[in-house]
Amino acid sequence: MSLFGKSNYTFIKVKRKEIPAGVWTKCPGCESPAYSKELKNNLNVCPKCGFHLSLNAAERIEHLMDEGSFVEHDAEMTSADPLKFQGPKTYKEKLKQDQEATDLKDAVITGHGAIEGHKAAMAVTDSRFIMGSMGSVVGEKITRVVEYATKEKLPVIIISGSGGGARMYEGAISLMQMAKTCAALQRHAEAGLLYISVLTNPTMGGIMASFAGVGDVIIAEPKALIGFAGPRVVEQTIRQKLPSGFQRSEFLLAHGMVDMIVERQDLKEVLAHTIGYCQERRI
């Protein structure tokens, strides 16, 4: 009731309009909302702070390979369940769930194509599929594409985005892939061929300790988390405070672990120039 009689105001209840899911994305770097369509047009790089959000494997291939040039290898290869893994979800259930969610058979896409006219073989891990972890299929597909590149005398580019490292569901079988992929890359190197490793956020565990860490040229995206164990695990193990920026691309560049940091929009040009430079000089 108003103080001096009937109110002259009419109150209207307005139903709150919900914003459709997926319209806005919160940037992990600056925590600002970014319009999802604008973000996608900017290769998933935050327009405010430059933080590089993840891209899936198909998006990276589309961005880097010349249009219509990419030919996929071993597209139907899928994992078995050698350990009959049991847990809150069985391995088979987890595989089926991620296959349906990502439309991938496993956590890597491999194949060959061209980058600004330069022929190359490529493998790209996808963090949406069990965190891009390396099981028997990932190891086998990467080994096969490296062997194909060796046979065809092509450079190899592997783009890693694995927060999962080796895949626990496969135990020692997963760990064996570390040696297998590195052995294939060693034969590729002995043939005098180029291997470029591209590290994205995050690249950790057994993947970083194997094929991702042995490139002739190692390129990282800005502010990517790169290492073996995570920084919290390292701190708890050594019981010391870690330096600022530890395990980020910029820290690794300053300490000689990577050769260059490249913005996503410039990566295709840098890859093409690197391949061309090395081929001209037979590096």
Mean pLDDT, range 103-120, rounded to an integer: 97
Residue 276's pLDDT is 95
* CATH class belonging to 55-280: alpha beta
Q: How far apart are CA 43 and CA 63, in angstroms?
A: 8
Kindly state the average pLDDT of the residues 165-181.
94
For all residues of the chain together, what is the average pLDDT?
Answer: 91
Mean pLDDT over 49-68 rounds to 94
Higher pLDDT, 18 or 160: 160
* Sign of the dihedral defined by the CA atoms of residues 182, 184, 185, 187, in that order: positive
Instruction: Flag whether the pTM goes above 0.75.
Output: yes
How far, in Å, CA of 207 to CA of 34, rounded? 31
Q: What separation in angstroms does the CA of 207 have from each of 29, 134, 139, 174, 214?
A: 24, 7, 10, 10, 10
- Residue 73's region, left for phi above 0, alpha for psi from -120 to 50, else beta, is beta
8 pLDDT above the threshold of 80: no
Checking if the pLDDT of 183 tops 90, the result is: yes
Q: Which residue has the higher pLDDT, 241 or 1?
A: 241
| Amino acid of residue 219 | I
pLDDT for residue 273 is more than 80: yes
Please check the confidence at residue 58 and state whether its pLDDT lies above 70: yes
pLDDT at 159: 97
Helix (H, G, I), strand (E, B) or coil at 102: helix
pLDDT the model gives residue 230: 81
Q: Is the pLDDT of residue 127 over 70?
A: yes
Find, among 156, 101, 152, 92, the residue nearest to 124 by Cα: 156
The residue with greater pLDDT, 146 or 5, is 146
- pLDDT band at residue 35, thresholds of 50, 70 and 90? confident
Sketch the domain layout of the chain as residue ranges: 24-53, 55-280
Can you read off the two tokens belonging to residue 164?
Answer: 């999962």
User: Does 125 or 87 have the greater pLDDT score?
Assistant: 125
- Residues 44-69: what's their mean pLDDT? 94
pLDDT over 60 (residue 4):
no
